[in-house]
Structure 1
């Protein structure tokens, strides 16, 4: 992982990640994973984030250097000044921004402080304004997207230079997500699930864009054919009461288990037969699906964002129509009816992830992108 530039060898990078969000979801988990991999390969990392944020607590828990920066808006002079001081005092080589507000703050601070590279990571497929006043993405030396669909949108809609944008999907740890190393029966007993019934699981933050209403309606449809089946809703978020109400209204309180937020999603997937994601917008390459696939599960999802990079219909899972509960129920039911099909698709899903979507692949491609950008800028040290 050594990095060569025009002046010799850079033995390690000093990388600052900025994050405005106070939540804890796939985006924040990717930042943590990148930092862990960077440390593993001898680089120095630092996260600048909001006080009381989810990423702050996690970074402290696992020993990643982190500093609190109050980010009130996309233009907060105090936050910019603090970030400039952080960049200079830590001799930061690379500033990598992640959310909208911290991208403005971090980009301005990076340019004022003279850091070597400014990177913007774009996690979601929400369209970016084409207004000339939204020039912050043109400030970056390079942009990393979490899926090819997002990259293509930036090139075609926002007319950003293609050679400055790369798609690098979030990686999975093969050691953590290893079906041979985990017995799901203990998790089934913990959750009160019979050992001999099919379990269908969805891992996602509880918010409207994930369309838990579709998942619950699909469960209601399937309940008539598979009354023994159980459905796990894993995650927490602002929509918890909404989801709980839908489960009650559908008469599925005895069939659906809301587990809340769990750090051991690998154990929940080990206890499952099928993994589902019912999102209808704003997805990159969903981590919940790649993690489930690494655990040898077939997946069911719609063609949203860059989901298609994971879901190869008939090979790693089954495609459902976006927003159509009956289509999801049909695909899930087909997998429940056919154990050999589940096993074949699940094995293929794991191979696909191990070949293309591991954490090592993610970080290796990220460092190669840094190297390319440094070479283009002719920066030596």
Structure 2
């Protein structure tokens, strides 16, 4: 199969690695893979050393004539079976570029729940564009949402989890004294850019039920955490001095490695939460809400806990249970890590993508 990937690899190495390594795995299986992306992306040398052709092209906007022409030139020169567009900027350009190339299947990637509506004209530039042949979703929750929006071929909206290697996520725990914390601190961590949908205010509301746990510390990592509402909730929590607004950090893996429990309190809009994946790989149990794909990652009561959205009491109860039972924490962490090894490998992700691509190529679709 000849496959062209249209994506961005400008983000942090850890952020782009699951996607990039899955395409490298496809190349290792003998398929002809081309990546169209920014020419200064740090991942380019690794692509090239694995035999992947790289084209220096990335759209400057959602409709970028230069990007469309570059892709059309490539499609005219070589027969590509699949064009796989990975984000909201590459998808519209790929959709228009693929018009007229009826033997090439266009696949798009969807990573979040919500925001895709039939009444929204911009949706027809992305996943609802008539040229799109299939949609790969990061979680079942995302796939169900997309299926409710597309007009036809719902069978071509599928869930394929990104693959991971637990070796990517191993880090030395940060020295707690560098944060002004005692060595025996029981750290509960929440990593998010604090939009309202991330539910950080719900987590903070739960802390007033945990104030009696004298060495419990809450680490809040990410941009925009110190909103007026969050600061007020911390002030009246009964443990204000043990709630730490750390802001944006480059040492997130080290902070996570030093933590006993990871919390994902989102109330809407989640795809497959990266923080849960990282915690699982490190053997750290998570408490996550029912929104999005978190409930697909964790086996409730075995490798973590799933709680209702907007339920601070439920969050507090699970944190307290994990605080009081080191044996349970260790067992859940081990099970979470083993689940990551068994069910979320790059090899499995590559295989499922290839199976889906082959199915699309074997189907008749007049929309091309």
Report the TM-score when normalising by structure 1: 0.78
Partners of 2:316 and 2:42 in 1: CA distance: 36
Contact 1:95/1:115, CA 8 A, preserved across alignment: no
**Alignment partner of 2:305: what SS?**
strand
Contact 2:36/2:55, CA 8 A, preserved across alignment: yes
Q: CA deviation at 1:169?
A: 1.6
Q: Which residue of 1 aligns with 2:144?
A: 152
Relative to structure 1, the CA distance from residue 88 to residue 235 in structure 2 (aligned partners, 3 Å threshold; closer, same or farther) is: farther
**Alignment partner of 2:292: what SS?**
coil
Please state if 1:279 is matched with 2:266: yes
Task: Indicate which of 339, 349, 353 corresponds to 1:362.
Answer: 349
**Alignment partner of 1:372: what SS?**
helix
Q: Which residue of 2 aligns with 1:59?
A: 43
Q: CA deviation at 1:283?
A: 1.3
Partners of 1:314 and 1:373 in 2: CA distance: 38
Partners of 2:201 and 2:4 in 1: CA distance: 40
Q: CA deviation at 1:101?
A: 4.2
Give matches, 1:103-252, under 5 Å: 103-112=91-100, 116-131=104-119, 134-135=123-124, 136-177=128-169, 182-184=171-173, 186-222=174-210, 224-236=211-223, 239-240=224-225, 242=227, 246-247=230-231, 250-251=234-235, 252=240
Q: CA deviation at 1:170?
A: 2.2
Runs of 5+ consecutive residues of structure 2 not aligned to the other structure: 49-53
Q: CA deviation at 1:326?
A: 3.0
Contact 2:193/2:225, CA 8 A, preserved across alignment: no
Q: Which residue of 1 aligns with 2:51?
A: none
Partners of 2:195 and 2:13 in 1: CA distance: 11
Contact 1:147/1:305, CA 8 A, preserved across alignment: yes
Runs of 5+ consecutive residues of structure 1 not aligned to the other structure: 1-9
Give matches, 1:330-369, under 5 Å: 330-369=317-356
Q: CA deviation at 1:282?
A: 1.3
Q: CA deviation at 1:140?
A: 1.9
Q: Give CA deviations for 1:145-190 in whole Å, capped at 9, x if unaligned.
A: 1111222233344344233121012222122235xxx553x44355
Contact 1:98/1:123, CA 8 A, preserved across alignment: no
Q: CA deviation at 1:38?
A: 4.0
Partners of 2:43 and 2:190 in 1: CA distance: 26
Q: CA deviation at 1:89?
A: 5.8
Partners of 2:190 and 2:335 in 1: CA distance: 20
Report the TM-score when normalising by structure 2: 0.80
Please state if 1:46 is matched with 2:30: no
**Alignment partner of 1:100: what SS?**
coil
Q: Which residue of 2 aligns with 1:4?
A: none
Q: Which residue of 2 aligns with 1:315?
A: 302
Matched residues, number = 351
| Farther-moved stretch of structure 1 (113-122 vs 33-42) | 33-42
Q: Which residue of 2 aligns with 1:289?
A: 276
Partners of 1:110 and 1:232 in 2: CA distance: 47
Partners of 2:249 and 2:357 in 1: CA distance: 34
Give matches, 1:86-101, under 5 Å: 86-88=74-76, 92-101=80-89
Relative to structure 1, the CA distance from residue 36 to residue 240 in structure 2 (aligned partners, 3 Å threshold; closer, same or farther) is: farther
Q: Give CA deviations for 1:21-78 in whole Å, capped at 9, x if unaligned.
A: 98779985654343444455555331436x9xxxx644358667463434333x4444
Partners of 1:143 and 1:325 in 2: CA distance: 35
Q: Which residue of 2 aligns with 1:17?
A: 6
Partners of 2:34 and 2:294 in 1: CA distance: 29
Q: Give CA deviations for 1:63-104 in whole Å, capped at 9, x if unaligned.
A: 67463434333x444442243235456765432123334322
Q: CA deviation at 1:242?
A: 3.0
Partners of 2:59 and 2:348 in 1: CA distance: 33
Q: Which residue of 2 aligns with 1:5?
A: none
